[in-house]
Amino acid sequence: MSRIAYVNGQYVSHRDATVHVEDRGYQFADGVYEVFAVMGGKLIGEQGHLERLAHSLSELRIEWPMSRPALMVAVKEIVRRNHVRDGLVYLQVTRGVSPRDHPFPQHSDSALVITARKSGPLDKDTLRNGVDIITIPDIRWQRCDIKSVALLANVLGKQEAREANAFEAWQVDEDGYITEGTSTNAWIVTASGELVTRNVSTSILNGVTRLAVLEAAVEVGVDIIERPFTTLEALAAREAFITSSTSHVKAVTRINGQSIGNGYVGDLTNRGLDAYVEYVETNGGPQTTDKWN
Ligand code: PDD
């Protein structure tokens, strides 16, 4: 069955989905995006993704391409037309098409593309197969709270991870603290048993999955400390995991080739995954969706 994409007001075959060469997203990476998970036919974290999109758009002074309710109709229509029960929805909004010139154009309509992709249903066993992480310097800009399509540093980092046979790269700031993965948030259980993830600031993207895990943890009575942690703390950690709409809650068992804890998925990671899945199945996503930097 052929895939369908939404491009600027039209549902078109994915094969024929194209944008203009003078779209500022293409020319300048002048745009933002969101990635929604679909689980069991339901969009996860709808409100969170919309609020974060609102944050990204307003920080860059890009107009909404349409009203929020209309946008969600298009998102759901793409899920429906592509028969996605489990998978992902990608949404990009750019400042639109205009002759190439750096300043904002006087007149341009924001451009909107929505695509969807199927995956298998969330598989806890696979998520519990721990993955390897490497650490790399964080060479990104200073507004990582904006979900910009300018992802070159993230792309280079992920490629470095692949070439090191690792799943993800954790980026490290100038002070030796881990910010986040190239497309995921980073978590550890320290040697003394604290569950830690970096606090929200302009140095990280506040994950919708991260927010759901924070809320799920409260529900099951697990304390989480939101603070920066160093590479050394991560290497000495008992457990580690990553979160994102694509990876959900995924165990990490090696960092820079060194085993974390006993080298197996830890208890809090296991509980975190269960609590997260139960929480999003019940609540559809995080309820607190207003803190983006
Ligand atoms: N990435 N940090 C970064 C840098 C990210 O790109 C992402 C998401 C996250 C996690 O956010 P969320 O839990 O809302 O997915 C954290 C998406 C999935 C991507 O670029 O494919």
- CB 190 within 8 Å of CB 233: yes
pLDDT at 96: 98
d(CA 78, CA 84): 9
Residue 191 has pLDDT above 80, yes or no: yes
d(CA 292, CA 179): 15
pLDDT at 50: 97
Residue 10 has pLDDT above 90, yes or no: yes
Index of the ligand 1 atom closest to the CA of residue 211: 13
CATH 3.40.190.10 fits 4-118, yes or no: no
Index of the ligand 1 atom closest to the CA of residue 245: 15
pLDDT at 291: 84
Index of the ligand 1 atom closest to the CA of residue 33: 20
pLDDT at 175: 97
* pLDDT tens readout for residues 29-50: 999 999 999 999 999 999 999 9
Average per-residue pLDDT for the chain: 96
Give the pTM.
Answer: 0.97
* pLDDT tens readout for residues 111-133: 999 999 999 999 999 999 999 99
pLDDT at 209: 98
Task: Please give all residues whose beta carbon lies within 6 A of any atom in ligand 1, as ranges.
Answer: 35, 180, 183-185, 205, 207-210, 243-246
CA-closest residue to ligand 1 atom 16: 184
3-class SS at 167?
coil
| Six-digit token string for 161 | 């991870």
**Region 256-272 average pLDDT:** 94
Exposure b/e, 217-233, CB count within 10 A at least 16 = b: beeeebebeeebbeeeb
Other beta carbons within 10 angstroms of residue 2's beta carbon come to: 9
Residues 147, 158, 250, 291: which is the catalytic one?
147
pLDDT at 14: 97
pLDDT at 288: 83
Which sequence spans correspond to the domains of the chain? 4-118, 124-283
Q: What DSSP assignment string belongs to 191-254?
A: TTS-EEEPPPSTTS---HHHHHHHHHHHHTT--EEE--EEHHHHHT-SEEEEEETTTEEEEEEE
pLDDT at 290: 74
Residue 147 has pLDDT above 80, yes or no: yes
Residue 60 has pLDDT above 80, yes or no: yes
**Region 11-24 average pLDDT:** 97
Give domain 124-283's CATH number out of 3.30.457.10, 3.40.50.1110, 3.20.10.10, 3.40.50.10860.
3.20.10.10
Q: Which residue has the tokens 């804890």?
A: 261
Residue 1 has pLDDT above 80, yes or no: no
pLDDT at 289: 73
* pLDDT tens readout for residues 214-241: 999 999 899 999 999 999 999 999 999 9
250 is catalytic: no
Q: How large a percentage of the chain has pLDDT more than 70?
A: 100
